[in-house]
Amino acid sequence: MTQPAKRRLGEILVERGFVSPDQLREALRIQYQEGKRLGEILIEMGALTADELNWALSELLGIPYVEFRDEMVD
Protein backbone atom coordinates (compact mmCIF):
# COMPACT_ATOMS: atom_id res chain seq x y z
CA MET A 1 0.00 0.00 0.00
CA THR A 2 1.51 3.35 -1.02
CA GLN A 3 1.14 6.48 1.03
CA PRO A 4 -0.11 9.67 -0.61
CA ALA A 5 2.52 12.23 -1.58
CA LYS A 6 3.26 14.62 1.26
CA ARG A 7 2.04 18.12 0.52
CA ARG A 8 3.99 21.18 1.46
CA LEU A 9 2.64 24.13 3.39
CA GLY A 10 3.44 26.55 0.56
CA GLU A 11 1.45 24.47 -1.93
CA ILE A 12 -1.60 24.56 0.32
CA LEU A 13 -1.30 28.31 0.88
CA VAL A 14 -1.20 28.98 -2.86
CA GLU A 15 -3.98 26.48 -3.67
CA ARG A 16 -6.29 28.11 -1.13
CA GLY A 17 -5.48 31.58 -2.43
CA PHE A 18 -3.97 32.75 0.86
CA VAL A 19 -0.72 33.83 -0.86
CA SER A 20 0.40 34.34 -4.44
CA PRO A 21 3.13 32.24 -6.06
CA ASP A 22 5.37 35.35 -6.05
CA GLN A 23 4.84 35.88 -2.33
CA LEU A 24 5.67 32.23 -1.69
CA ARG A 25 8.87 32.46 -3.75
CA GLU A 26 9.99 35.56 -1.85
CA ALA A 27 9.22 33.92 1.50
CA LEU A 28 11.13 30.77 0.50
CA ARG A 29 14.11 32.93 -0.49
CA ILE A 30 14.04 34.62 2.93
CA GLN A 31 13.62 31.25 4.63
CA TYR A 32 16.72 29.94 2.86
CA GLN A 33 18.74 32.98 3.93
CA GLU A 34 17.50 33.40 7.49
CA GLY A 35 16.28 29.93 8.49
CA LYS A 36 12.95 31.16 9.86
CA ARG A 37 9.68 29.24 9.54
CA LEU A 38 7.72 29.86 6.36
CA GLY A 39 4.49 30.86 8.09
CA GLU A 40 6.31 33.29 10.35
CA ILE A 41 7.93 34.96 7.34
CA LEU A 42 4.65 35.27 5.43
CA ILE A 43 2.94 36.82 8.45
CA GLU A 44 5.81 39.31 8.89
CA MET A 45 5.54 40.17 5.18
CA GLY A 46 1.83 40.91 5.69
CA ALA A 47 0.93 38.31 3.06
CA LEU A 48 -0.81 35.96 5.51
CA THR A 49 -2.80 36.18 8.72
CA ALA A 50 -2.29 33.89 11.69
CA ASP A 51 -5.78 32.50 11.13
CA GLU A 52 -5.02 31.63 7.50
CA LEU A 53 -1.80 29.93 8.59
CA ASN A 54 -3.70 27.90 11.20
CA TRP A 55 -6.25 26.79 8.56
CA ALA A 56 -3.46 25.68 6.22
CA LEU A 57 -1.56 23.88 8.98
CA SER A 58 -4.71 22.05 10.04
CA GLU A 59 -5.17 20.83 6.46
CA LEU A 60 -1.52 19.83 6.20
CA LEU A 61 -1.66 17.86 9.45
CA GLY A 62 -5.15 16.46 8.93
CA ILE A 63 -6.40 17.99 12.16
CA PRO A 64 -9.68 19.96 12.14
CA TYR A 65 -9.25 23.65 12.91
CA VAL A 66 -11.80 25.25 15.21
CA GLU A 67 -11.89 28.98 15.73
CA PHE A 68 -13.40 29.96 19.06
CA ARG A 69 -15.07 33.31 19.52
CA ASP A 70 -16.18 34.89 22.79
CA GLU A 71 -19.86 34.59 21.84
CA MET A 72 -19.47 30.84 21.22
CA VAL A 73 -18.26 29.92 24.70
CA ASP A 74 -20.69 30.00 27.60
pLDDT per position as a tens digit, 23-70: 999 999 999 999 999 999 999 999 999 999 999 999 999 888 877 776
The residue among 25, 28, 46, 48 whose CA lies nearest residue 36 is 28
Across residues 10-14, what is the average pLDDT?
96
Q: What is the pLDDT of residue 16?
A: 94
The residue among 61, 67, 29, 65 whose CA lies nearest residue 45 is 29
This prediction's pTM: 0.79
